[in-house]
Amino acid sequence: MKQCLVDEQNGFRKYRACIDHIHSVSTIIRARIATGKPTFSCFVDFQKAFDWINRDLLALKLMEVGVDGRFYKAIQSLYGSPVACVKINDMYTDWFETPFGVKQGDILSPTLFALFVNDLALQIKKNNLGVCLDDTYLGILLYADDIILLAESESDLQNMLNLVSSWCHKWRLVINKSKTQIMHFRNKGMERSKQTFYFDSVPLEYVSSYKYLGFLLDDFMTFETGFRCLADSAGRALGSVINKMKVCNDSGYFTYTQLYNACVSPILNYAAGVWGFKESKVIDTIQNRAIRYFLGVHKFAPVPAIEGDMGWIPGCVQRKCEMIRLWNRLNKMAEDRINKKVFIWSKLHSSPWSKEMYSIFEEVDMVYIYRNNLCCSVNFIKDKLLLKFEEK
């Protein structure tokens, strides 16, 4: 069934991840901002998406994509007796009907939902709506029920919203209009659009930031809002780690390092493959705070000194390594993937992200990797970056 899905759908599919779409969205928008072009987007929020799927319409869509025979009958059997009850300790509620939606917790449910919304993406692609990437248009990206619409103009975005509205009426899904929000990505010197966007005659709200697949994007694509959000979350995680260390008095350097790398660093460096080239004091403050706690030094202790004593990899090196990992990931990706097409397009048009990658390879005297689109050893480049860092 997954072969029937549009490539723009990355949710719950093998070898696909949130970072692919975050990279595509941020790269396109930053490249357009760099050339003075605005981008209009809408983040679509379905109201109880998985719970409101009409099962008869789902069966129709399954037949339309060629799902039949025993597999089709198995799915029909799975949804043939729509009753359920709730177990609380050793007690059970009365049985009640569940006539709508796909089953929560079932490993098949995300694929069934993706198939249900698949033709929405097909309609938008058919109308050539979206941002022009040389020989193709990118107007929609999906990660399960997380949907973003991208357009070069206000009129195109409104046309896409009209398409989504018609599709929702036809297939009986409901959009949460208070959470479906508009962003106008642009240069700082440009005023926000005065255009009012409508969904079913209801005006949609403009926002200056939106958390897309776990990373907070701002309308100038500076990433500063996202940095603060990551730092806040990582700071809370670090507080939890410190509390654990206080309880376990015999825990030493190895345990503390493992806890930090497992519980704090993944939050702090989330999506760093996209933004890792940028310096951020709020991000660096978290690792410095973690080091100061373990070493027992005051907040005015010089950062280079405490980093040397702790022996942890500096945050700037960690983030550049994340960018190298994303570079390798995109290079290995199949040529027909939309995320790969964005990667190739960004390099051809010297997008900000591509320039940042070039700078990293230039820093370690390995520009030939960039020029020839080669994969490389992250550990080897990490060692070279550490040498450069120590020389400063």
Sign of the torsion formed by the C-alpha atoms of 336, 341, 344 and 348:
positive
How would you label 192-230 residue by residue, b for 16+ Cβ within 10 Å and e otherwise?
A: ebeeebebeeeebeeeebbebbbbbbbbbbebbbbbebb
Residue 250 is predicted with a pLDDT of 65
Q: Dihedral sign, CA of 373, 374, 378, 384?
A: negative
CATH number for the segment(s) 2-51+109-218: 3.30.70.270
pLDDT at 315: 95
pLDDT at residue 3, as a whole number: 72
Question: What's the full length of the chain, in residues?
Answer: 392
Q: What pLDDT, on a 0 to 100 scale, did the predictor assign at position 300?
A: 83
Look at residue 106 in the predicted model and tell me its pLDDT: 86
pTM score, two decimals?
Answer: 0.94
Indicate the domain borders of the chain: 2-51+109-218, 224-312, 319-391
Per-10-residue mean pLDDT, the chain, length 392: 85 95 98 98 94 92 89 87 86 90 88 94 95 95 96 98 97 95 97 97 98 98 97 98 86 93 98 96 96 90 88 96 98 97 97 98 97 97 94 78
Q: What was the pLDDT predicted at 269?
A: 98
Per-residue pLDDT at 23: 98
Q: What does the pLDDT read at residue 1?
A: 59
Helices (H) and strands (E) in the chain, counts: 16, 15
